[in-house]
Amino acid sequence: MSVMLATMGSRTRRHADATQMVRTGHRPVLLTELLQTLAPQPGEVVIDATLGAAGVSEAFLQRVLPGGRVLAFDRDPAAVGRAQERLAGYGWAFEARVGRFSQLAALLEGTGVRPDVVVMDLGISSLQLDDPARGFSFQQEGPLDMRMDPSSGAPSAADLLATMGESELADLLFRLGDERNSRAIARAVVRRRQTAPLQTTTELAELCQSAIPRRRWPSRIHPATKTFLALRIAVNDELEEIEKGITASVQLLRPGGRIGVISFHSGEDYLAKRSLHVLAQDCVCPPQRPVCTCAHRATLSLLNRKVIKPTEDEIRANPRARSARLRAAVRLPDPSP
């Protein structure tokens, strides 16, 4: 079905998106635009670096068959297990493995794979957000975990809140979540943990509400939204992952291969834009330097100068798509020796 999305009218497309939501529990965003921009062809090899509920993987599979395949990664073992089961019918053409996209080169070592397409659909899936046990949502009671890979042994959100110094925490909330009330929230966290550690999502959501004076509450979002976003980014080291992931993906792409990156908040989009733009530049010397000394050569050409945003129709059908942005580029030929 997804193979036809690009040519569908918006009502039919809404129906197709909704059907996919029911089947997978996550509705992919900007899917039509992703397929149009990256134009996967039969026989091509696609790396889906952010498998999630495998909606994007399946749409690309239907475009690259016959002859092509999708190799998908997710750092969340639960996502990989579910997708392997759901897409088992595709046999050799679909393979899913646990792994972080910053490690793509190591994950593909010895396979000889040079993909024609790499897709990075950043952030978390609805499956993760809507599962209270994962601790990503302030709307449902659950442990303050927030690790995309709970088996990683990395510190959880509760661990960070129990151990970080007040100014370090305030800085993290401001830098990663753009939270203007970061000092008040950090102060409240430190005061609270002197009596009992913060253990649940609702405890943290209530603390944010009471730490921020009502007149300073944001008008359109819950007072805990930015705190939860900042903690999630920190727990999963997401910003560093993005930079390393884009660089690794571009190095792997074959000449003529395409990369598409979908971001969901300004921090992600800034890094996606910067990483792709730097790789698309012939010289990265500071502007005041009269002669180029960097020897940097472009490996990419941008496919869209202007970032691609969801249509009003898509936002109406799926409000979570509101802040999604797509950037894409094509790999240039390797320089001749």
135 backbone dihedrals φ, ψ, rounded to 5°: 75, 20
From the CA atom positions of the chain, what is the Rg in Å? 21
Alpha helices in the chain (DSSP H): 10-24, 31-38, 55-64, 77-86, 104-107, 126-129, 157-163, 166-177, 182-193, 201-211, 225-235, 238-252, 266-279, 312-317
**Among 49-57, 167-175, 216-224, 272-280, the segment contacting ligand SAM (CB under 6 A):** 49-57
**Minimum CB distance to ligand SAM, residue 27 (Å):** 8
Integer Cα distance of 116 and 224 in angstroms: 41
The residue within the footprint of ligand SAM, chosen from 60, 94, 101, 136 (CB under 6 A), is: 101
Interface pick for ligand SAM out of 115, 123, 223, 267 (rule CB under 6 A): 123
| Region for residue 229 given its phi and psi (left: phi exceeds 0; alpha: psi -120 to 50; beta: otherwise) | alpha
325 scored as a contact of ligand SAM (CB under 6 A) = no
Buried b (16+ CB within 10 A) or exposed e, 254-292: eeebbbbbbbbbebbbebbbebbebbbeeeeeeeeeeee
d(CA 184, CA 195): 18
Binding to ligand SAM by residue 28, rule CB under 6 A? yes
Q: How far is the CB of 107 from ligand SAM (least distance, A)?
A: 10
* Contact region with ligand SAM (CB under 6 A), list: 45-53, 154-162, 246-254, 328-336: 45-53
* CB closest to ligand SAM, residue no: 52
Q: Does 189 bind ligand SAM (CB under 6 A)?
A: no
Cβ proximity to ligand SAM: between 100 and 170 the closer is 100
- If one asks whether residue 53 binds ligand SAM (CB under 6 A), the answer comes out as yes
Given 46, 56, 70, 259, the residue binding ligand SAM (CB under 6 A): 56
- Cα distances (angstroms) measured from residue 80 to each of 71, 72, 88, 128: 11, 8, 12, 13
Structure tokens at 188: 């409240």
Q: Which helix (H) or strand (E) covers residue 327, if one does?
A: strand 325-331
Q: Looking at the DSSP assignment, which residues form a beta bridge with residue 327?
A: 261
Of 53-61, 189-197, 226-234, 287-295: span binding ligand SAM (CB under 6 A)? 53-61
DSSP 8-state symbol, 308: B
Judged by CB under 6 A, the residue of 46, 108, 148, 176 near ligand SAM is: 148
125 contributes a contact to ligand SAM by CB under 6 A: yes
Residue 50 as a binder of ligand SAM (CB under 6 A): the answer is yes
- Of the candidates 124, 161, 205, 279, which one interacts with ligand SAM according to CB under 6 A? 124
Q: In whole angstroms, what is the distance from residue 52 CA to residue 126 CA?
A: 9
Residue span binding ligand SAM (CB under 6 A) among the ranges 86-94, 96-104, 175-183, 222-230: 96-104
Q: Kindly tell me the burial class for residue 147, based on how many C-beta atoms sit within 10 Å of its own C-beta (0-12, 13-18, 19 or more).
A: buried
Find the shortest distance in angstroms from Cβ 199 to ligand SAM: 23
Residue 136's nearest CA partner among 169, 158, 120 is 158
- The piece of 67-75, 136-144, 208-216, 220-228 that touches ligand SAM (CB under 6 A) is 67-75
Q: Which stretch binds ligand SAM (CB under 6 A): 52-60, 109-117, 178-186, 203-211?
A: 52-60
Q: Which positions touch ligand SAM (CB under 6 A)?
A: 26, 28, 50, 52-56, 73-76, 79, 100-102, 121, 123-125, 148, 241, 245
